[in-house]
Amino acid sequence: MEPESRLRKYLLLLANVLFAVAVFTGISAFQARNMLSTDRQPAPELQVMTLHGAPYDLADAGSRPVLMYFFAPWCHFCAASADNIVRLRRLRSEEELEIVMVALDWQDHAELRQYAKQHKLNVPVLLGDASVARDWKVYAFPTYYVLDSEHSVAKRDIGYSTQLGLWWRSWRVD
């Protein structure tokens, strides 16, 4: 193969990769347009009950960063990424990162207990409702918010995320 032909081939490959990245970035920005802003404004308050019947108050997380994972038990993408949350908990201690899963659009406690058992959840499952979804601007599942040590929204995303993606989003949030 001639050098010019090889160069042209690599430039075409690079152009295709850049196009794919641009499309992905555009779609991600479009999906996130209605989410809470990442301009470091305080996150909404969250005072709900856990699946085990204990009260939960986001303020009790103190100065720890928090990964808020909003899910619906019927959501297949949520089920696929729930295992990544479990593995992230094994990688990041509770002192480093508070991780909570907030159930939305659920039928009853039995459905959530089955979901937690099936996925061997090792993080608190919080019982959210329509007002929580509205306050946190959750309109698709799963939705992630990473809060910094002052509980302002530092990062956000919608949809499936790998374990590496969750780790990356929650790493070095000050």
Q: How far apart are the first and last CA of the chain?
A: 51
Q: Which CATH number belongs to the domain containing residue 121 in this structure?
A: 3.40.30.10
Distance CA 89, CA 97 (A): 8
Note the pLDDT of residue 7.
Answer: 84
Note the pLDDT of residue 33.
Answer: 66
Number of domains in the chain: 1
Furthest-apart CA atoms within the chain: distance in Å: 70
Helix or strand or coil: residue 169?
A: helix
In a domain, 23, yes or no: no
Task: State the DSSP code for 55.
Answer: E
- Closest Cα to residue 46, out of 174, 145, 171? 145
Note the pLDDT of residue 10.
Answer: 83
Distance CA 78, CA 84 (A): 10
Task: State the DSSP code for 50.
Answer: B
Note the pLDDT of residue 174.
Answer: 63
In a domain, 160, yes or no: yes
The backbone torsions φ and ψ at residue 107, rounded to the nearest 5 degrees and listed phi first, read -90, -50
- For residue 125, count other CB atoms closer than 10 A to its CB: 23
Q: pTM value?
A: 0.82
Could you tell me the residue range of the domain that residue 156 belongs to?
34-170
In a domain, 151, yes or no: yes
Question: Which residue has tokens 């305080």?
Answer: 42
Q: In terms of residues, how long is the chain?
A: 174
Sign of CA dihedral 129, 132, 133, 134: positive
Percentages of the chain per state (helix, strand, coil), in multiples of 5? 45, 20, 35
In a domain, 107, yes or no: yes
In a domain, 87, yes or no: yes
Residues in the chain, pLDDT under 70: 1, 22-33, 174
